[in-house]
Amino acid sequence: MATPLPRTDRPARAPKAVAAFVDEVARLTQPERIHWCDGSQEEYEGLLALMHERGDLVTLNQDTHPGCHLHRSNPSDVARVEHLTFVCTHHSHDAGPNNNWMDPADAHRLMRDLFEGCMRGRTLYVVPYCMGPIDSPYARCGVEVTDSPYVAANMGLMTRMGSAALERIGRDGKFVKGWHSTGELDPDRRYIMHFPEELTIMSYGSGYGGNALLGKKCHALRIASWQARSEGWMAEHMMLLGLESPQGKTYYVAAAFPSACGKTNLAMLIPPGSMPGWKVWTLGDDIAWLHPGPDGRLYAINPESGYFGVVPGTNPHTNRHAYDMIRRDTLFTNVAVTADGQPWWEGLEDGTPVTDWQGRPYDAKNGPAAHPNSRFTVSAKQNPICSPMIDAPAGVPISAIVFGGRRRELAPLVYQARNWSHGVLVGASVASETTAAATGKVGVVRRDPMAMKPFCGYNFGDYWAHWLAMAGKVERLPKVFHVNWFRRDKDGRFLWPGFGENLRVLEWIIGRCEGKAEAVETPIGWLPAPGALNTKGLDVSAATLAELLSVDAEAWRTEMAEVAEYLDSFDERTPADLKAELADVQRRLG
Ligand code: GTP
Ligand code: SPV
Ligand code: MN
């Protein structure tokens, strides 16, 4: 019996290749109808109304939080699933030991079985999107087909989604194909598959963030990093900010920290009262694409147009801008709710949760009220310090690249790499305590080179070689630094106040880029000289500051031996120059 064709509202001007892709998906998945997203406000509201109808969305208090809604994920689907995420290349070596690998033919077979008939009775949404300013030569497009209205609505906030993207695809002729279905939300039938050689992503069985919003980690990092390597640019897990000095000069800084380690908060930093005249402008909070520019500098764009940010910890003292930004027109995922329908999370001083993130009456015995990886989705335009440069087609020139991790010990507050290749080693050596952003144990130190462990779409050995090779493509490379906001004392308290006070570290970094700020040389790199870090109005004792800026040679010898072992695990793909940098640090450590 022939299956009836689904109803579709395909626009007359849809590019043929996109129509053919949608037909292919529809033939296999058998949706009841097909909706081509145009990205309009009416469409967004329609998606929300539909989710309400289906019981997938809770309306929050519209007096205190106009336009805000809550989505509760399936409790088994609240974070990225790294063990179910695969890079499927013809040669397993190209994916590298840093990725789970599956043969592309096997992966296609597996995924076709899962997708077969999975959209019966459902609507298939066609979500054309553009990563990057719509008229930027650096932007890249994709089409995500999904049976989740939650995904379609989130993609509308997170990307330049709809008609303009579809038109650009018509001009480009090329796009990343993203297959997505929530399936049965069964963890045993859940896979996030990447086929970089085919510019294709297939994601099944999850509706959550990085697993399902395919423009984000799947496209803008895993697939893009693969493309970037062959095309001579970089796709990185970096926030991007403009720092305006009291003299009125703006410097652009990119920072790579692992998931839930402070990118959003740094990108939205509010200067402390004791540092008048400084201003921070947010370009991006999660992903940056870096390109050699025409003037010999490295230029960055943020491919996204919204934030999918960590909610817990957000309050008027840690991040007033973020707190204000998410009081209207925000989609919350997995937060708790107060008696009068306001969203609530740990770290908020006001309010009392009555319903937890799973929709149960709140009981402390069940753990936190909001899920530790609860998130907000909001358009970047709502950020009161959103940089006017976010739509600049050519991006912004980067002065400094900052790596960081969450480490209770060892890594000092800040240090500077001696040069680019040493900086690549510093990035490759990043380690950080795991967080709730991915399923699995929290608080375990693991190596997370360039904060890209879960996101690099190819062999780390090749990736480091690509980083080193940028020295031949960019005349005036950014200076490279490492920071750690998360050192703790023996009672577990943070040694550094963090948040707005991190501006002191940024000021030193900019000073170094200008050749002004004083530094002392140590075996691991340059640290602020005594007095070089601005401590005016800072409530940190001299002893604590000394501890934050100390280098324990014995502990670093152990660390570097571990790094050596780690680099060796990538076999002959690890560049010899990187090992030489490491040997140099080891020699300096004695
Ligand atoms: P992803 O979106 O997962 O990539 O994370 P992110 O790097 O953007 O992390 P985010 O800024 O959302 O911070 C995650 C957590 O770290 C939040 O709970 C913050 O409150 C906390 N945090 C951020 N900056 C600081 C800091 O300077 N000091 C301390 N102690 N905590 C911080
Ligand atoms: C991260 O985990 O680094 C995130 C959230 O930014 S997700 O979109 O789920 O990847
Ligand atoms: Mn991230």
pLDDT of 425 reads 98
**Helix/strand/coil (H, E, C) string of 207-272?**
CCHHHHCCHHHHHHHHHHHHHHHHHCCEEECCEEEEEECCCCCEEEEEEECCCCCCHHHHHCCCCC
Segment (H or E) for 156: helix 149-158
User: Which residues are known catalytic residues?
Assistant: 261
Nearest-CA residue for ligand 2 atom 9 is 210
Contact present, 47 and 149 (Cβ < 8 Å): yes
| Cβ neighbours of 544 (radius 10 Å) | 14
Residue 192: predicted pLDDT: 98
| Atom 27 of ligand 1, residue of closest alpha carbon | 498
User: What one-letter code names the amino acid at 405?
Assistant: G
* Distance separating alpha carbons of residues 246 and 534, to the nearest angstrom: 14
For strands 58-59 and 69-71, give the pairing: antiparallel
The DSSP annotation for 46-104 comes to HHHHHHHHTT--EE--TTTSTT-EEE---TT-SSB-GGGEEE--SSHHHH-TTSEE--H
Q: What is the largest CA-CA distance in the chain?
A: 81
Cα of first residue to Cα of last residue in the chain, in angstroms, is 77
Please tell me the distance between residue 578's alpha carbon and the centre of ligand 1 in angstroms: 30
List per-residue pLDDT tens for the chain, 590 residues long: 556 778 999 999 999 999 999 999 999 999 999 999 999 999 999 999 999 999 999 999 999 999 999 999 999 999 999 999 999 999 999 999 999 999 999 999 999 999 999 999 999 999 999 999 999 999 999 999 999 999 999 999 999 999 999 999 999 999 999 999 999 999 999 999 999 999 999 999 999 999 999 999 999 999 999 999 999 999 999 999 999 999 999 999 999 999 999 999 999 999 999 999 999 999 999 999 999 999 999 999 999 999 999 999 999 999 999 999 999 999 999 999 999 999 999 999 999 999 999 999 999 999 999 999 999 999 999 999 999 999 999 999 999 999 999 999 999 999 999 999 999 999 999 999 999 999 999 999 999 999 999 999 999 999 999 999 999 999 999 999 999 999 999 999 999 999 999 999 999 999 999 999 999 999 999 999 999 999 999 999 999 999 999 999 999 999 999 999 999 999 899 999 999 999 999 999 99
- Point out the ligand 1 atom lying closest to the alpha carbon of residue 257: 7
The residue among 217, 202, 218, 267 whose CA lies nearest residue 239 is 267
Identify which of 467, 459, 355 has the alpha carbon closest to the alpha carbon of residue 95: 459
| Domains, the chain, with CATH or none | 16-56+82-231 (3.40.449.10), 236-305+390-589 (3.90.228.20), 307-382 (2.170.8.10)
544 Cβ closer than 6 Å to some ligand 1 atom: no
CB-based contacts of 277, cutoff 8 Å, min separation 6: 245, 246
Q: To which H or E segment does residue 155 belong?
A: helix 149-158
Q: What pLDDT, on the 0 to 100 scale, is given for residue 571?
A: 84
**Ligand 1 atom nearest to 486, measured from its CA:** 30
Q: Which residues surround ligand 3, an ion (CB under 5 A)?
A: 259, 286
CA of 237 to the centre of ligand 1 (A): 14
How high is the pLDDT of residue 2? 58
Question: What pLDDT is recorded for position 3?
Answer: 65
Rounded distance between C-alpha atoms, residue 303 and residue 134, angstroms: 10
Which residue's CA lies nearest to atom 3 of ligand 2?
259
Q: Please report the beta strands in 96-195, taking only residues with DSSP state E, as ranges in sequence order.
A: 100-101, 123-131, 140-146, 160-161, 176-181, 191-195
Record the pTM.
Answer: 0.98
Q: Determine which helix (DSSP H) or strand (DSSP E) holds 36, and give its type and residue range.
A: strand 33-36
Which of ligand 1's atoms lies nearest the C-alpha of 318? 20
Q: How far is the CA of 258 from the centre of ligand 3 (A)?
A: 7
CA of 225 to the centre of ligand 3 (A): 15
Report residue 222 CA to chain centroid gap: 11
